Structure 1
Amino acid sequence: MAITWILVANASLARLYANLGPKQGLQLVKEIAHPESRMKNAELSSDRAGQMQAGGSGHGSREQQTPPKLNAARSFAQMLAKELYLGRSRNLFGRAILVAPPAFMGMLNATLDGPTSQMVTDRLEKDYTKSSEPTLCGRLESCILV
């Protein structure tokens, strides 16, 4: 039976588990924290908007198009996608399950490469990062044989 990787993540914390087969439960492979995603927008950006010369005599200021907190979450999603890519390229798992809140799931899906994305058999749009392993097993029983 192929090893299943289960990525349980939100924008600031991820846990990667392995399920080795029926009645094997979950084994924690890696835990990855991303404290930048917990910071406030003001803490992630400079003190004030940049100044630019406007056409005419007035001055304008430029607002950032994307909030810094959103950029931090996207950066974390890219980091996790790379982790899954490396695991796939090293044949460390045969299939994957993603568990993340809807907004972060969208970021993960957008950053996964094609072959890795094809190995994802289930996607659960929930935040189970605070769940214990036994609770997580119960919530994933429809996806894996624990």
Structure 2
Amino acid sequence: MKKIVWIVVANRAAARLFQVTQPTGPLEELDAFIHPEGRLQEHDLVSDRPGRAFDSYGAGRHAEDPDTAATEQEATNFAVQLSRFLHKARCERKFDALVLVAAPAFLGALRERLDEPTRERITLEVDKNLVQRKAGEIRGHLPVKLYSAVGG
């Protein structure tokens, strides 16, 4: 039986979706996702200076730190967007197995946003930022036989 393995290669600003239909086959690019806000720096995302508060002791004041940095929130937003896409694709039976290749911090954010049935389809995770690399180079970071992890 022919198995379809999807490979998601991502960072906080972009993602590429590849497919493999043969155990040792090349990557076929299916789609690309761009999240321009993920490229912005903290000061570009937040227009206001942080709030000020009085020190608990003495007459000093200090800036309040936000609970979540704006760049981290944008990465989370993109992870949610990708997880919804993957959830829908899994429900439509578009892939049998999933491989995640992502920048280390984004890999964790993406994994946390995936629903349990989609997470169960993950057969391999590679914590590298390879979004800008060519398909052949990305394939070089994956096992020669991708189906071995799917049992095919």
TM-score range (shorter-chain normalised) is: 0.7 to 0.9
- Aligned partner of 2:38 in structure 1 is 37
The superposition leaves residues 35-87 of structure 1 with CA deviations (integer Å, 9 ceiling, x where unpaired) of 101111111112222467999x9987643111100100111111111111111
Match of residue 77 from structure 1: 79
1:24-63 aligned at under 5 Å gives the runs 24-50=25-51, 62-63=64-65
Whole-Å separation in 2 of the counterparts to 1:143 and 1:101: 23
**Aligned to 1:111, which of 101, 110, 113?**
113
Q: Secondary structure at the match of 2:128?
A: coil
* In 2, Cα distance between equivalents of 1:118 and 1:70: 25
Query: TM-score under structure 2 normalisation?
Result: 0.84
Structure 1: which 5+ runs fail to align? none
Partner SS state of residue 5, structure 1: strand
Distance in structure 2 (CA, Å) of the matches to 1:94 and 1:135: 23
TM-score by length of 1: 0.87
Q: Distance in 1 between matches of 2:55 and 2:127?
A: 44
Unaligned runs of 5+ in 2: 148-152
| Range moving further from structure 2, 33-42 or 111-120 | 33-42
Partner of 2:4: 3
The CA deviation at 1:17 is 0.5
Aligned residue identity for 1:17: F
Matches for 1:62-141 after TM superposition, within 5 Å: 62-141=64-143
The one-letter amino acid of 1:102's match is P
Distance 1:89 1:111 in 2: 16
CA distance in 2, matches of 1:38, 1:126: 17
Give percent identity, aligned residues only: 31
Does the 8 A contact of 2:80 with 2:113 survive in 1? yes
Q: Which stretch has the larger CA shift, 126-135 or 88-97?
A: 126-135
Contact 2:24 2:146 in 1 (8 A): no
Equivalent-residue separation in structure 1 for 2:145 and 2:114 (angstroms):
20
